[in-house]
């Protein structure tokens, strides 16, 4: 069973940054990349194109449909697949709802890939 890095995309996620981090982790860990995103995203076709380019560059990558994606779904997805070794998100706190930490049930490392000082704070 091959290891897998899961990149979860919210509608406002910085796609380029997250895919870059996810692909880098996959190369270092000899893992495959799975991107979870809501299929209603306006850039769905662009995501497919980007993942095809990663595959051409040697990274095994796939796009998985996750309607209404939220942190709970990401955690359940990761817990349901023992091959998931890492989950990559943009801002972990931005996924939280009503003051809860949805990531406490995650059994693998969580990578925050875009807590960059130049990005605006979310409310």
Considering the domain boundaries, does residue 102 fall inside one?
yes
pTM, two decimal places: 0.90
* Length, in residues, of the chain: 123
State the CATH number of the domain containing residue 43.
Answer: 3.40.50.620
Q: For 121, which DSSP code?
A: P
In order along its 123 residues, the chain shows pLDDT tens digits of: 799 999 999 988 889 999 999 999 999 999 999 999 999 999 999 999 999 999 999 999 999 999 999 999 999 999 999 999 999 999 888 887 656 788 999 999 999 987 555 555 544
Structural domain including 88 reads 4-112
Considering the domain boundaries, does residue 40 fall inside one?
yes
User: Hey, how many other C-beta atoms are within 10 angstroms of the C-beta on 100?
Assistant: 10
- Structural domains in the chain (count): 1
Considering the domain boundaries, does residue 108 fall inside one?
yes
């Amino acid at each position: 069973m091959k290891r897998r890095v899961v990149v979860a995309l919210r509608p406002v996620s910085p796609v380029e940054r997250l895919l870059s981090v996810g692909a880098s982790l996959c190369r270092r860990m000899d893992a495959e990349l799975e991107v979870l995103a809501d299929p209603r995203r306006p850039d769905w076709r662009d995501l497919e194109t980007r993942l095809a380019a990663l595959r051409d560059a040697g990274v095994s990558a796939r796009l998985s449909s996750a309607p209404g994606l939220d942190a709970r779904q990401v955690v359940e997805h990761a817990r349901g697949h023992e091959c998931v070794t890492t989950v990559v998100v943009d801002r972990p706190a931005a996924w939280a709802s009503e003051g809860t930490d949805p990531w406490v049930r995650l059994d693998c490392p969580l990578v925050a890939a875009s807590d960059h000082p130049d990005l605006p704070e979310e409310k």
